Structure 1
Amino acid sequence: KGSLFHLMFSCFTIPTSTDKIRLMYGINSCSGRVEVLYNGIWGTVCDDGWDLTDAAVVCREMGCGDVIEAKSAAYFVPGQMWMNTVQCTGIESTLKSCRSYGIASCSSNKAAGVICQPAVTLVNGTHSCSGRVEVRHNGIWGTVCDDGWDASDAAVVCREIGCGNATEVKSAAYFGQGSGPVWMNNVSCNGTESTLKNCVLSGRVRQNCSHEKDAGVICGPKLRLQNGSSSCSGRVEVLHNGIWGTVCDDGWDLTDAAVVCREMGCGDAIEARKGAFFGNGSGPIWMNNVNCYGNEQTLKRCRSPGWDVQNCNHYKDLFDCMHSCVF
């Protein structure tokens, strides 16, 4: 029986040509739909049996720290399937080392996803896309020295955290001094890197820099409020795949609105309005039936059927943080 058991699973492990993995359509480089490369083609993983143990392996393989959530039902977007019923023990270093029932016969709307702890974050900014740059190394958060810090470096950070383009480069602890190690110094990015850790740097840990020189950045946000009476009121619009679109008001309430106000740096939500109060938007209606717990850092982390998965019209574009937010 032991030999038969071994034979059964050796036949269904991931092919050795599946040696690459990536996360797509997430809000940063540490979240998104799980994709694996097989025979030169990227495909997704079926959510049958997908759980936190499997997701933890992906997060570790991606260099993204601990898993926050394991997502199913094409939370990020549907996709062609390559793997089905992944069974990880949790100690594997790569997803291909986990047991799997091979190439999937699974519908595209069951694509698995993950949300991991990011390796880079912005702290003390006016919104979620601005602040002091902090990086996680060996499980400990620290800062980046501003020696050599420029627009190319800032651009990599903004892209990695899902915040679009860099609009301002900050130095000299503009967002306040951090604590802990100054992990990186003399960072030199060419601007095309997917993560800050892929950039060239002269030193990690051992360098001559203090927190008075902590680097910062202001990125273009992925969320905005349009046609309101202030910067904290208006129609909610989100940026996805480089295109601005709106959010349908189906199921929209103060809990969802609170996430938007916090992400925008606008305090508490006063009112959540529906029915295109500030006029119809244009372009795609990116999100529908948004369902936030209320503690999410960004609207994109809230539950929804997926990007552009909706039956909604612009006359139902919603509005948030009405008139002003409470500070």
Structure 2
Amino acid sequence: MDPPVLLLLLLFCSETWAQNSGAHTECSLSEEELRADLMLLLDGFNHIGPDDFSRVRDFLKTLLPMVGPVGPDLVRVSLVKCGRDPEVEFYLNTFHDLSSMVDAVSRVSQSPPLPGGSSDRAVDFIEKNITQKDRGYRAETPDILVLVTDRNSSGVNTDVLDSLRFINLKVFVVRVKVTDELKVIKINDDVAEVFTVEDYNSISNISEELTRSMCRWLKVKLSRPQPESLSFTDVQPRRLRASWECNSRQVQTFVLFVHLVHPESKVQGISVLGHERSAEILHLLPNKSYRIIVYAYYSTGFSNPDTGVVTTPQDGVRLSAGPGRCSGSVELLMDGSWSSVCGRDFGLTEAAVVCAELDCGAVSELHQGALFTEGPAVGRSFHCDGAETSLKECESSETRCSAAAHLTCSDEVLRLYHGFSCAGDMELRHNDEWRPVMTSEDPDLDFGSVLCEQMGCGSALKVEYLRFYSGPFWRLQPECVKQRSGLTNCLDLDSHMNETKGGLGLLCSEFYPVVRVSVSSEGASVSSEGASVSSEGASRVQRVLVMLGTNFSVSCSLDKPFVPGQFHLLSPTGTYTLSSVNHSAHFLIQDFSPAHIGNYTCVFCGTVLIKRCFKSTTLYVTPGGASTLTLVLISICVVVIIIIIVSATVLTIYCRRRKG
């Protein structure tokens, strides 16, 4: 389950004296920068006396004036109370002035002392009820969740937060009279800040410290360059390309979220590497408006996003009179009306273009449809070369034909949600419904490799259950999939479809770069064909011959662009490190001596949400050939020997002639 970027709570500092409060907190941010939504979560407090609960309310009333300017275009605040069941006290768009908000807090009642309730349930409740556009949710502003609790072992479950993909979230926890140790809450490498007070009388004393911490976080967030100038090109009914600019070379990844505008819902998440400035968005619907949100992710966290809205056009091709939208007679929209596509010259290449244009998977069956009842009719004949993204891009001509092309596509489409093109959480579309994938038994790499191959991503490096998930899913039978029987035929539709379990994550080989190592020197040679070897395959060690006393260079490189990172050269004399420049690094080894004899291996380390390292195969550098001085001496010796031989020969001939 993937909510929109959860814009929960932002409390920050104002440079003006707050109304109804003597508190004053320094925060050098402009009014324009003080735009955010604020979410307070009261967890527990149903077993304390009315006086202590009144002190909790006073804490909130003290904190609210420090938020800064409240208004529809400035700061928005929401409050959820979690007793046995979560309750909304007010939404993000309920109040637009501070006094009304403070009055509402004064009227918050204490929950009855009943067992049950948890922060996890409250966070799930927030996702479904607060982070909605009609509740005042704004996807383009920073998020902070402030959890105020008196429960032992309370805190938001990290798995729940991970499953929700709280991209823009910072968590602050206020604990009152809690004795146990709180587990670390960490989201996107950002650890929650925890404030603990010993009794209810002192809870209001932390208001300024809490607000200053929020202000510091906001200032750091605003300092990160964000994507801008978001635009859309090649907009087709079911795909488009989003492009943006970002004035930073330190971006590790860009994360895009695609929201359907009506009804408001998130439909997919996409990640691309930090050097890229565009992404292709697939699996859209025709005649729909989408809101695209793009974030830049740095080693310190996420930036603010850029957003844009785009509407897809109507389908230009369809399969009519079939059992579903992915099977039937091929028809093309021309000048506002549908016309048949002739089946006579319609082959597998043309069929593949149509299946891809309709987002219906691969070609399953192709044949001519039934003869036209009224005899030959005017239709269009097409010839495609396979590179087209729509049938209209193919060469065509008007002709008379007796039957239309009839096509059935597999309607089996996989995607890796909230990930990269070849790494992420697996989702399968069946009956036009996307669901996470689970299996009837533990998956293995052979199962994952079939799925990777189907997406053109090579083989599987890892397939495992990831993240917390609760909701409907599609269950695949691994053994059936490995026999390549078709994903639809391998669905287990009779099993229970609404379990709480992790969805499957898939990592394919084509996602990672291949690390290559090579040696170059005027005095170097290789004992086999070429010194450049990859990190995949070859277990043998190649020998490189280098003359003693010469200099040589070890080059480390990637076979394709990847995130910024560092190359480490593992050598007999130690480990050396250089930053990646144009996806490569060059290490100079001077005056080759016996100490340099041995194995040389390149390791590249870069961060894609987490730090990852990749290793090349190994080159063994050993002395070989002759030094320049040796070659000179040998040459002199050869010349001297030749002179001696020639002289001896001449002398012998001369002596023989004298005797004769």
**TM-score normalised by the chain length of structure 2:** 0.23
Whichever of the two has the greater Rg, that structure is: 2
Task: Compare relative contact order (CA 8 Å, sep 6+) and give the higher one, 1 or 2.
Answer: 1
Of Structure 1 and Structure 2, which has the larger fraction of its residues in strand? 2
**TM-score normalised by the chain length of structure 1:** 0.43
